[in-house]
Structures are given as C-alpha cells and as structure tokens.
Structure 1
C-alpha cells in the first residue's frame, strides 16, 4: 500500500513542468511596466512636496514679519533680523535651494516672494 502511494507521487512529479522562458519574460515585462508607473507617480508627489514647502516658508516669513512690526513698530531689515528677534528659528531667506528659498526685500511693507516652486 505504501509503495503504491509513493509510485503515484513519483508519477505525478514526472508530469509537472517548470516555467517556460516565454512565461518568465512576460512576468518580467509586466513588472517593468508596473515599476515605470510607480516612478512617474512618485515624481509628481515630490513636485507637490516642494511646492508645499515653498508656500509654507513664504507664509511663515510673512507672519513673522507682521509679528515683528507689531512688536517693534517697524519692519525687519532682513530675514536674519527676524531670527535674532525670536520670530523665526531659522532663516528661509538663507536657503541654498532656489525652489524653496524666500526673498525678503526691505520696504514698508517689505516685499516677500517665494522660490521657483511657489
């Protein structure tokens, strides 16, 4: 009884075959297409993140400038004055990335513009 069960198992294994080259190539092509879709989707997410960071920096400097004016009666000379006055923790006008950098031009009121991503 045991030997007949083993013979049937061996016979079933002989009829099994592996994947063909065509089947493997089809799977590789499908995975490549899916990877391409993911790459383009992630690039759009990065662009939106840079735009959000730029807008956040712009609004933060505008708010800090108004708070400086409310406390001191005049506008800050530059972004560094907002940091030294305690209105900002770091100076977004000193960023090296042109996409998220904020430009602060002295005036009454000052001109505050965002980087290329805004």
Structure 2
C-alpha cells in the first residue's frame, strides 16, 4: 500500500507541475550557492526570489557535464500561481542583467 501511494503521489505531483507550467509563467534569476555530491550524484543548489519571497531547490548536473559554477546565475521559468513550481530553460544570465523585476519577466530578456 505505501509503495502504491508513493507512486500515485509522484504521478500527481508531476501532472500538477506540468499543468501549472502550461499556464501563466514568468522568468527570474537563480544563483548557485552550493555544489555537492548527494548519493553519488553531482548536485548544484540554487536560490531565487519572486515578490520578495526566497525559493530554494537543487538540480542534478551530471548530465549537464558537471557542476554549475558557484555564484553563476541562470534563468528560471516559474508558475505564477505557485513560484515554487519551476523549470530551467538552460540559459545563463549575462552580466549585463543587473536588476530583476520583483515579479520577474513575462519573456526571457534578449541575450546581449
């Protein structure tokens, strides 16, 4: 029974994330603050802010070719109804981007 519940919950959470990311989304900037191995996998931990609230998460980076450099900045696409739901477009933030709107951008800023 617990295995069935766990698999069901995982499927629901994934479907909910996909549903929210198909809706209204915006972009903000995440900053990598830690790299470590977790259960043998290379993981970069990062933080981002939306409307003054801080969000944290991690990304397994083995398949990306290695660690995200500490202090590096990456765009994050988040669901407006729940900014904790997000994904990575895989684009680093150029140094020319110095300010981020509190609610993020409706589209990715042009690469300069």
TM-score, with normalisation over the residues of structure 1? 0.28
Higher helix residue share: 1
Higher strand residue share: 2
Structure of higher RCO (CA pairs closer than 8 Å, 6+ residues apart) = 2
